[in-house]
Structure 1
């Protein structure tokens, strides 16, 4: 089969690799009909995570079951399924509590696993024609319709992007009436903003510098904030004051909920040619009102093989803990427990309430992956989300 293979820092190629096989009675083989390119893939592409050459990349697959092991009962050959990024067993202590991203059985010596991701188990990625899915009864989410139909681009967002955006709003405690600020208008940030609106937020701000992304934020009903125009914290505070705060809430011109959808490769606003992994955390600490909440969905790598000046190889950061403590801000972290949300969000798509497909800016053939990785890494040509068709 054809697959996108990591060759080294900022180098991928499309190669012929061995087809996957049924290895356990609980496996299925899925023929991939769509596979998305994620900002997380760029952490490996940029040589930041220790990925080794030969790794098949990708963790956002949608497809059709082509083979099924004898112990699989929840899905059958011919079923259309989306496969969440974080694979899990479904029965261990964490899985039984709904904490599927921390499964204790899928990665010996660790917890949690993912397709095509350095350090997250031996599982080949989904930017390929075929994908082996272990523990298929737990990991395959059945979908209606046929490959290539009107819901194809929306459904592939259920593998990672939409559920992670929704998870970010869970971490940040977004409720009806909340005022929310999302830093980062990549796919996760945009779908976090969309999720916040769906959850009844009173106002949502989205901070970025790329016009095409900010326009998608606007289309979701969010207020775009371009940090090239000045400090985004002060921009948001000024907008809040201009909208006239309720009586008795003078000084509460920040936000109730802040979301970090950027992670450790954040841009240094004082020098956009460089990174500052503390930038977003410091901005959110300044912006979120006392007793508010911050949800961190952006990736912070355990090891950074090419750290920025403000970062460290071991992933440690200086964080304004004293300010967070003084303001009583709750901070939520962590990978997405995908299966808490996939059926819920699938049904919001089916009723037309949710439209995650708006973030899809480009569609490509698998053979075009090297060029799209290059342009996506450079934030060039208006790329927001690429969906590849094997």
Structure 2
């Protein structure tokens, strides 16, 4: 079968790899029909974080179950499924608490495991990880494209909003106009925020933010952006979503937080000097919540909203490629020619 493989900085190739097989009784084999390129993939793509070389890529799988192990009970061959970016057993202490990304068996799809950017994957702990799409929607392309972001970015944006404590009538600031930030706007709107200020650097992306519920946008940079957001929120917001993970975005998040407020952070931190923003947090008594999103905790509720037509994150996909086009998808993401790339296998 074919799959995307990372060979070094800005070098992703689609090549032949061994077909996956059932190895444990709790496994399933899934034929991938839809997947995506994620902003977090760009860290290793640009050579800014460690990654197995060569290593399979991708962590946002959706497809059809082809085979299951003897102990799998929740899905069967022919079922349409999606899966969070983190594999989880569903039974350990942390899974029972809803902290699936701290599962004692936790592992990601990409790297040394079967990456999701390929024709098939082996899904360990299928009962704890795979999420079945109701049969009536299994072949509805519009619904499937709306559900795919639930494998990562929609649930991650939701985790930022929940961690920041967003609720009905609140004012929230969302730092970042990538796919996660845009989904954070959707999530804040879903949770009832009355005002949502979206901060970013790209006018086309901020237009999507407005479609998703942003009441104001800030396209400035640096101190000008902080001043504008602070002015719009009359001194700062109690609820700030940090959806990038860069040092500059973390600084911005704490700068625009009102004293006593909370920053919900979900951006993968790379090259961040914690001392600078922690001093700001200390002086303003600003709380810091969040981390790696436990997607499996949120996916059922968000799926229900997608299926009833009240939630649609699919506009984050601004470019679509096939399996052979995955290297082009990485290039487009890297050069900001696409917000997020949909891959139809």
Structure 1 equivalent of residue 237 of structure 2:
255
The CA distance in 2 between the partners of 1:130 and 1:321, in whole Å, is 43
1:218 lines up with 2:210 in the alignment: yes
The CA distance in 2 between the partners of 1:148 and 1:350, in whole Å, is 11
Aligned residue runs from structure 1 range 68-79, under 5 A: 68-79=68-79
1:231 is paired with a residue of what secondary structure? helix
Deviation at 1:316, TM superposition (A): 4.8
Q: TM (normalized to structure 1)?
A: 0.85
Structure 2 equivalent of residue 298 of structure 1:
267
Deviation at 1:5, TM superposition (A): 0.6
Aligned residue runs from structure 1 range 203-352, under 5 A: 203-222=195-214, 223-228=216-221, 231-241=224-234, 253-264=235-246, 277=247, 279-301=248-270, 311=271, 316-352=273-309
The CA distance in 2 between the partners of 1:320 and 1:337, in whole Å, is 24
Could you tell which deviates more after superposition, 196-205 or 47-56? 47-56
Q: Is the 8 A contact 1:33 1:147 kept in 2?
A: no
Which structure is higher in helix share?
A: 2
Aligned residue runs from structure 1 range 34-73, under 5 A: 34-73=34-73
Q: Is the 8 A contact 1:27 1:132 kept in 2?
A: yes
The CA distance in 1 between the partners of 2:223 and 2:249, in whole Å, is 14
1:387 lines up with 2:336 in the alignment: no
Q: Is the 8 A contact 2:157 2:181 kept in 1?
A: yes
1:361 is paired with a residue of what secondary structure? strand
Structure 2 equivalent of residue 116 of structure 1:
110
1:227 is paired with a residue of what secondary structure? coil
Deviation at 1:229, TM superposition (A): 9.4
Q: Is the 8 A contact 2:201 2:219 kept in 1?
A: yes
Structure 1 equivalent of residue 184 of structure 2:
192
1:180 lines up with 2:135 in the alignment: no
Runs of 4+ in 1 over 3 A off after TM superposition: none
Deviation at 1:185, TM superposition (A): 0.8
The CA distance in 2 between the partners of 1:45 and 1:323, in whole Å, is 32
Q: Is the 8 A contact 2:91 2:128 kept in 1?
A: no
Structure 2 equivalent of residue 156 of structure 1:
148
The CA distance in 1 between the partners of 2:32 and 2:140, in whole Å, is 11
List gaps (5 residues or longer) in structure 2.
none
The CA distance in 1 between the partners of 2:277 and 2:5, in whole Å, is 39
Structure 2 equivalent of residue 271 of structure 1:
none
**Superposed CA RMSD:** 1.5
How many residues matched? 342
